[in-house]
Structure formats: structure tokens, C-alpha cells
Homo-oligomer: A and B are copies of this chain.
Amino acid sequence: MKSDLFAAIEAGGTKFNCAVGTGPDDIRASVRIATTTPTDTLHDVMEFLQNASKLGRIAGIGVGSFGPIDLNRQSDTYGYITTTPKEGWKYTDLLSSMGELFHAPVGFDTDVNAAALGEYTWGNGEGCDPLIYITVGTGIGGGVLVNGRPLHGSLHPEIGHLFIPAIQSDAPNPDGICPFHGDCLEGLISGPAIAARWGAPAETFPADHECWGEFSTLMALALSNLILTLSPQRIILGGGVMHQAQLFPMIREEVQRMLNGYVQTNEVLQDIDNYIVPPGLGDQAGMLGAMVLAKQAKGR
């Protein structure tokens, strides 16, 4: 008899990471699909899922998507990507075709809430309440778990767009690039923002380049505000830009300097090396979080 499998789809602005399996040590099939048009990309996703369903019954599907997305089950556009600036993807229905095809329950959340869930279940966030997961890549997104469950509310966190105090910048083009907010966090230190402001792709700057000092200060301002708001038990920083490992000690030091002894927690004062950390699941956090969403959907 074929065993129950779960399908995980991390829907990102650059690629869709898809897998079928039961957990990090049991991935039966996986594929990366470029994010082009909704029609083409979703066609390839469905093809992958149909082929993968020959390996076992798909008992649940989980989708963690870039956003903003509609998480309100009472809404006509539940399961849609909504007002994204991404060309061609505004008001895209991600879910209805998948669920119907496999007669399987579908879990749905933001890519970053999913990544937080992945880290909480199998990675560096086990048992942390609240837990924050932030990814810094082509955009900046943040997921939040409270009591182990993704934070929703009237929408979902949009931590990438936090307003932060301006600091003196030596960037050749200091202005932020967010089309909505200019100098918000994403507008200043996402990968494309670093490239636009400092004049070359982020990954081409050496570890001791001044752009990373500025990055650390700006990120530390955002994290300080998140600590003051959510009082998280851990913050995980992932995404392509955070592959620059030198950033972690720089960010930690800046957070301590800014909070200036006001937040008297062991995490901030003594144990910050275990407080602001990279993902335990590396770049698989989002996909594995989508697998947790699939399992939770089955369990409902």
C-alpha cells in the first residue's frame, strides 16, 4: 500500500519550490519552477504534483506564498495573491485548482509564516513563543508565530515595510526604492535596494564593505522595534542576503547598543548569539513550512 504523502509549495517571487514527502528527512520528489506568468508557472506546478501523486496518496497540500495574500476563508478571494507589485500576479488564484484536482485539504499562509512554522517544527525555532522569521532577498518578509500558530489578524504581518529611523548613509544613491514607502526597510536593504543604492549587486561587495555596516544598523533598528513589540523568544534571519555570515555578530551588537539595557532579558543581554540566528533548515525553511501547513490541513 502506498503511504500518505504531503505536497509542499513555496510560492516565491523568483521561483516556486515544490516537494512531496513527509518531512525534512523524507523528501520523495522536488522541483524548482521559475516564477514567470501565473498560467505557465501554475501549469508546471500542477504537472509536478500529478507526477508526484504516483508515489503515494497526496493527503494534504500546503502553500506558503509571497504576498500580500488573502487569508480570510470567508472572502471571495481567499487563496489569492492580492495587491502584489509583481508584474502579472495581481489577484492570482493559487489554490482552487490544486485542491479540486487531488481532493485533498489545502493549507495556505504567507511564505514567511510558513518558514517560521518550518523552523518551529524542525529547525532553529523549536518551542520559541513568539517566534519571528525574516527573509532578506529580492524583498523582505517576516512571519510571526504566537503560541506556535501563525499570526494573522486583519491581514498578516508585513514586516518588510516597517518604517525605520533614517541614518547617515554613504551610499552613492541613498534614497530607498520601495514604490509604496520609499525608505521603508525593504526599500533600503532588500537585495535589489542594496544594488540600487550602492551601485552593484549585493553579493559582489566584500564582507568588510561599508554597505554591510549600514545594513546591520538598519536591520538592528527594525529588530529592536520587533523585540519591543512582540517580545519574541527567538528571531531567525534567512534569505539570500543573510548568507553573508558576518552580518549576524554585527546585527547582534547593534541591537544591544540600541536597546541600551532597557529590555532586561537573558536573551538580549547574555545570550544574543542564540537569539538572532540563521535558519536551521537553510533555504528549505519555506518549503518545509508549507509541508507543515499540508499536515495541519489534513489534521483539521
A interface residue numbers (CB < 8 A to B):
68, 82-83, 129-130, 142, 144, 146-147, 151-159, 161-166, 180-181, 183, 221, 224-226, 228-233, 258-268
How many copies of this chain does the complex contain? 2
Contact yes or no, B165 A153, CB < 8 A: no
Q: Which 8 A-B pairs have the closest CB atoms?
A: A153-B231, A180-B262, A154-B265, A146-B146, A158-B228, A155-B231, A130-B153, A180-B260
CB distance from A78 to the nearest CB of B (A): 14
CB distance from A53 to the nearest CB of B (A): 35
CB distance from A212 to the nearest CB of B (A): 20
Besides the contacts A163-B225, A180-B262, what 20 more A-B pairs have beta carbons closer than 8 Å?
A68-B264, A82-B264, A83-B261, A130-B151, A144-B230, A146-B146, A151-B231, A153-B230, A154-B265, A154-B267, A156-B231, A157-B228, A157-B230, A159-B228, A162-B229, A163-B221, A163-B258, A165-B165, A181-B258, A181-B262
CB distance from A201 to the nearest CB of B (A): 26
23 A-B contacts, Cβ less than 8 Å apart? A129-B153, A130-B151, A142-B229, A144-B229, A144-B230, A147-B147, A152-B231, A154-B233, A154-B266, A155-B264, A155-B265, A157-B228, A157-B231, A158-B231, A158-B263, A162-B229, A163-B221, A163-B224, A164-B165, A180-B261, A181-B258, A225-B229, A230-B230
CB distance from A211 to the nearest CB of B (A): 20
Residue of B whose beta carbon sits closest to that of A266:
B154
CA distance A163 to B162 in the complex (A): 11
CA distance A260 to B158 in the complex (A): 14
CB distance from A107 to the nearest CB of B (A): 19
CB distance from A262 to the nearest CB of B (A): 4
Contact yes or no, B233 A162, CB < 8 A: no
Write out the residue numbers on chain B whose beta carbons fall within 8 Å of the beta carbon of A165.
Answer: 163-166, 183
CA distance A129 to B151 in the complex (A): 10
CA distance A162 to B162 in the complex (A): 12
Contact yes or no, B230 A262, CB < 8 A: no
Write out the residue numbers on chain B whose beta carbons fall within 8 Å of the beta carbon of A181.
Answer: 258, 260, 262
CA distance A17 to B68 in the complex (A): 43
